[in-house]
Structures are given as C-alpha cells and as structure tokens.
A and B are shown apart, each in its own frame.
Chain A
Amino acid sequence: MTFRRIYVLWVLTGVFLLGLLFYPVLPKVNLQSYWLLVGMTALFYAILASSWSLLAGYTGQFSFAHMAFMGLGTYAAGIMIRDWGLTPWIATIAGVLVTGVVGWLIGYLCLRLRATYLALFTIAFAEIFRLVVKAEVKITGGPNGLEMPPYQRPEAFDRLMKAILPYWDANQYVPAYYTMALLFFLSLLFMFFLVRSRFGLFFRAVREDEEAAAALGVHVVNTRVLAFVVSSMIAGLAGIVFHHFIGLVVPDEMIIGRMSLIIAMAVIGGSQNLVGAALGAIFIHFALEWLQQIPMPLPVLERLLFLESWGFSVDLQAGLLRTNAWRMVGFGILLMLTLRFAQNGLISPILDWLARKEAVEEVAKRFQAQRDMGAVDAVQPVTSPANPTDDLEAEGEKA
C-alpha cells in the first residue's frame, strides 16, 4: 500500500475529534470553568462561522445579519419561556422556527436580486433589530439583557453520563461544553451532507452562473432561499443552546463588530470549506484568548501613536479595552490581506489539498501536459470504463 495524503487527513480528523472529546481534561484546561467557557465559546463561534460560510462560500450571498439571527432565535426562545411558560427544550425548537420564518421572509425579499441587496438589507436589519431590542425594555429586558433559564435534564441522564464520564458533574460547564461539542459536530455533519447532496450542486451552479443554471432548470431563488434559511436557523439554534447555558443574552452581542469577527474567522479559515471556517473560528478564538494573556505594552503603543500628546486621558478600564481593540484591528487587517492574497483562506487550501485524490491530480497533470503540447482539441478520449470512480481509484493505486 502506498502512502496517500488522504491518510494524513484521516489522522488529523481523528486527533481533532479526540481533542474535542477530551478537551475538558487536557492538562491546561483541567476542568477549570474559565477554560471550559472559552472552549464552548470557541465552538459556538465555530458553528456560526461555518453556517455563515454555508451561505457565503457555497452560494456567494452575504448575510450580515447572522448574529442578528442568532439573537433573534435566542430572544424568541427566552421570551416564550418567560411569557408563555414553555420549557426550554420546546422553546429551543420554537425559537429555531421563528428564525426560519424570518429568514424565509428576508430571503424571499432579497434573494431575487443580486447579492449586494442581501448584504445591504441584512446589515440594516441587523443594526435596527439590535436597537429595537435594546429599546423595548419591557419585552426584551433592554440593555441589561434577558434571562435564559437552564435546560432541565432528567436525573437518570446525569447518572448515566457520570458513569461514562466521571468528571461529568465536576463543574456546571462540563455538560455545557459537551452539549456545544455535540451541537458543533452534528451541525457540521448536517451541513456537510447538505453540500454533498444535490442542493450543494445547485448552490454552486447558481453561484457560478445564475442564468445558465436557470436555463438548465435550476430554481435559482428557491435554491438561495434554502441556503439562507438553513444557515440562519443553525445560527439561531447555536445561539439558543449557548445562551441557555450562559444564562443571559444581551443585545450588544449582536453588534456589527461581533459579526465582523465571525466573518473574519470564516474568511481567514476559508469560507469555501465548512471545516476550514470552523477551524478558523476555533483558532482565532483561542488566539484572541491567548493574546489577552500577554500583557500588551500599553504605554508603548500609546506613545507610538503620539496619543498622549494629543491629550487623551487614559484610564485603566478604557486602556484595557483599547488594547483589545488593537488586537481586533490586527485580525481585521489579516482579514483584508487574506481576502486580497488568499481568497480561499489559510486553512481550507490545506484541507482541500489533503482531500484531493492523487489520481485526479494525475489525470489533470496528464491533460495539462497534452494541452501544453498544443494538442488541445485533438485529445482522443481514453477508453472509458463502466465505473468512473473505480478507474480513478485504480490509477491512484498505480501511481
């Protein structure tokens, strides 16, 4: 058996899944609630980034309301629990349905038109939704946020989990982490199958050439609306589940800056690939966390920019916020550079390269060679075997 790159991918996937599973007991994490929270937040962002790239990377449509949909679902669920007395489990489903309906309405409004319109409308929608949530204190709790009661778990379930994982009840964030991890895994799996299915084919065809796709019978608007609704519903679901564990949702989680961060994560990871975007989110979230551990030489920075001399008072709280802001500037610049020089992101190309069959490359290379010799159109067909996949597999083995 010869070495194939796909094996590397399998090994990496295995390592990643093991890491996901045993993260709470990794040496540095060691069941501390702080690091568990960091981990589950990273997974929350990973779900958001990958569902955003389902829309952006596969259909070429951009929603700037992804965080707003996250918030919409969460607020809808929270309000239904508070006012109608729904249980958190049922409210989760209801909240996701609300996101779906609103997503469908907005999708139908904008997706008949070209991509810019969805971007324009969602950015306005997101900001205005946030302002309204902030203002309607009686309904949403306003800037102080809305309480999200925790999920009720049957005791038997807890006992079972404790039997499997001895540290299950070490900390309230352990079950929370595992729930997010499961949600992350399942949503990624779901989106993965979606893009492998016929819908994925339609998403891409519509993105490549809307008119040609329509002329071949693909329903352009429905295809896009489907992607938008699915992507928004996953955001809503992630928001609801995450905030049930956090216990509170505040409107400022939906600020455009947060949305920008999700986009930066997806683009830097690579929005053409769901896993790339998710990994981008995880890496960036941990990177931000790690950067926070390093004391930023604030005076140096401030002096560097001649700010002191401009007479701004620097109090400690604001100073901290500013150094964090500089970190975000760094990621913003990385986002722009990635867009400009590595449109497929920094992680996706590696994954794609590992996943691409050597045999396919072999074939591609051969025809490239023939083309270089100038025999472009005169290429004779190779004898075609009955099963296309087998033949490539075989060629790969030979090579």
Chain B
Amino acid sequence: MSRANGTLKLEIRKVVKNFGGLQALKGVSLTIEGSQLVGLIGPNGAGKTTLTNIISGLLRPTSGQIWFNGERIDTLRPYHIARKGIGRTFQVTRAFRRMTVLENMLAPGIVKHPYMSRRELEKKALEIMEFLTIDHLRYERAGNLSGGQQKLLELARLLMLDPQLIILDEPFAGVHPKLQRTIYDYIKRVREQGKAIILISHDMESIFTLSERLVVLNFGEIIADGPPEEVKNDPAVIEAYLGRDEEEEHDLRRAY
C-alpha cells in the first residue's frame, strides 16, 4: 500500500446545509493539514453525518466550499471525489449485499487500478481482508454476513481505493467488543500508513485515546477544536453534552 505523502490538505470553508427549514450545518469551517487523526464528536443530530456526506459529494452544501489538495471539490460528483482519494464508510453499513465479499472488494480496486491484473487485485484484497479477519468469507454473499462483519467489509473495501483521507462514520457502533478491538487496530495501522482519518464516534473511550485532535460539533456549529485534553475540559463542551439524553451522559462519565 502506497504511503500517502504529507501534502494532504482538506479545507472546509463556511459550509452551510439546509434541509427545508432545518439548518443542519451553520457555517462549519475546518482545516485538516497533513495526516492527522481527527475525532469528530457531537450529540445526535449535530450534523456529523451531514458533514461527511457533503465532503464525499453525496450532498451539495447550500453555501460554502470544500477544497482538497488545492482543488475545489464541493462541486464534484461523488465518484470523482472518491478517485481523488477521499474514502468513507457509512453509519448504516452499505455493503453490496448480493455480491460476494471479494467482489465487493474488487469493484473499488478496479476503479483505482484499472490496469492491474485481476490476480494481483485479488491478492491485494486478500491481504486487507486477512488483516480484518474476513478473508475466510470471501466467497460469501455480503448480505449473509453479520452486521459486524459487514462493518469490517466496509472498512476493507475502502482501502482498495488507496485513499489519502478516510472518514469513518461510527465504526464502533453496534459491534461486539472483540471486533471493536479489530477495528481499533485497523485504525491504528491505517494511521501508521500515513493516511489522514476523520473518526466519528460516540464511543468516548476510543475516541479520546485514538484522536490527535478533537472537534466538537453541536447543532451544526463547531464549539470546540483542539487537543483532546483541552477539549475535554472545555466548559462549552460539557454544557453541550450534559443534560442531553442519558446514554450520552453515560458515555461522557465513562470518558472522564
């Protein structure tokens, strides 16, 4: 797998997104330079997934721009953005259910490496799948996999694109602790390869240990941005989190 060079730069400039009367993002600006692991947290409905969808081109921002490596990408189509090196997973897994696991892997592989032979691609796919412990399922229809295994498949599939920046939307949600460990290792390893990661999670424990920088989104606005230690003690963050629903409060207590 090729090492991403250090020139990576993602700039989100004053992105606003309206859904009818609802303003999901109220002018979000964020710059990610060089390979970093940025944790993105925020209560339910804060706009995290919306931001992800806008970066990957599935949604158009109402206003604002997104630049990636000196190029404006918010006007591009999703496939174009993906080929530029931004990969993402979905909060609700979206494997190609009636295709085998291997075919799921090959589709993005061919996109990225149109001239690579099938055999080589398969080898590359198997390496990734082996690391994520799903290689034995390669001829299984993806729809037959368990929810957690489908999550792993999505993570694996993503790497076939050789992305520079990876956006993971809640990879730990609804996953058995054992698999969580696998995903945790995956993130660390991908990080070591020099890729930038935006990690969205409600699992405070892993996000505090993994992220090098923490961004907090609340009601479509960034209310804190900095090293995890600082953000943790930011009064605005505590305010935003406390008094919301119990589950999150619980998460927070675990985190502190």
Contacts and interface: CB of A to CB of B under 8 A. Distances in A.
Complex A–B touching at CB under 8 A: yes
Interface of A, helix, strand, loop or mixed by DSSP: helix
A212 B140 contact: no
B69 to A, nearest CB: 16
User: Interface range on chain A: under 10, 10 to 19, 20 to 34, or 35 or more?
Assistant: 20 to 34
B25 interface: no
A376 B178 CA distance: 11
Interface stretch (A138-146, A215-223, A284-292): A215-223
Contacts of A211: 58, 78, 94
Given A212-B90, A220-B79, A364-B139, A377 B148 contact: yes
Contacts of B133: 379-381
A217 B149 contact: no
A209 B150 CA distance: 14
Nearest to B85: A217
Contact of B107 (A218, A377, A382, A386): A218
Given A204-B96, A209-B94, A217-B112, A377 B149 contact: yes
A330 interface: no
Interface in A351-382: 360, 363-364, 367, 371, 376-382
Contacts of A392: 139
User: Interface range on chain B: under 10, 10 to 19, 20 to 34, or 35 or more?
Assistant: 35 or more
A217 B83 contact: yes
Contacts of A202: 107, 110
Nearest to A389: B122
A378 B137 contact: no
B4 interface: no
Interface string B85-115: 0011010001111110011101110111010
Interface of B: 56-58, 77-79, 82-83, 87-88, 90, 94-99, 102-104, 106-108, 110-112, 114, 122-123, 126, 130, 133-140, 144, 146, 148-149, 157-158, 160-161, 175-176, 178-179
User: Which 3 A-B residue pairs are closest in the complex by CB-CB distance?
Assistant: A217-B82, A214-B78, A217-B111
Given A211-B94, A217-B83, A367-B140, 8 more contacts: A205-B99, A209-B96, A215-B57, A215-B90, A217-B108, A217-B112, A218-B111, A381-B130
